[in-house]
Amino acid sequence: LSILLNLILFRLLAPRLGADLYHATYYRNLLPAWPVPRVVTVHDMIHELMPANPGDPTAARKARAVRRADRLLCDSAHTRRDLLAHFDLPDGKTRVVHLGSEVRAQPRPDRPLVHPYLLHVGDRAGYKNGEALLKALGAADDLKSRFHVVYFGGRPFTEAERAAIVQQGLAAQVV
């Protein structure tokens, strides 16, 4: 329902706001006829390079968005190389814009995180493969002793995930 409501409101309100640019969210083209320049951020080429779900529309939606975009932003030089190798694009259409922040966060007193940590963002299933991170860290004693793991986003841990955390000897290091 929220997706449908978002689509309806965007189509009604966006053209009236006088925007100079349209930056599509996750390759969605909500207003195909809107006559403003379009920017698309490409985070990775995983759906094209390692397709896991034959029914996943992401690669096709991304291809349409890439062809329609006036400018393509890539999170890394590696993603840019993959994008250029996969699509026949003019070199000047792409630019690397790294994600990041200059904000220096401090641990909250009620949740201190003083150890270096590996951050996993989003759902842990599918191509994000949160389980592989646990196995890799559990198998590397030098990393296991130096890093904690912070999973941010996604659903609460399942019983199977909690058991895997314990099995890898990471119960005190996973948040």
Tokens 């409101």 belong to which residue? Answer: 9
CA distance 93 to 90: 6
Question: What confidence score (pLDDT) does residue 107 get?
Answer: 66
Per-residue pLDDT band for 63 (boundaries 50, 70, 90) equals very high
Average pLDDT over residues 87-111: 80
Q: Could you tell me which residues come within 8 angstroms of residue 36 by beta carbon, excluding any fewer than 6 positions away?
A: 19, 20, 21, 22
Q: Rounded to two decimals, what is the model's pTM? A: 0.66
Q: How far apart are alpha carbons 164 and 175 in whole angstroms?
A: 14
pLDDT tens across 147-165, in order?
A: 899 898 888 999 999 999 9
What's the 3-state SS for 113-149? CCCCEEEEECCCCHHHCHHHHHHHHHHCHHHHCCCEE
Whole-number pLDDT of residue 167: 92
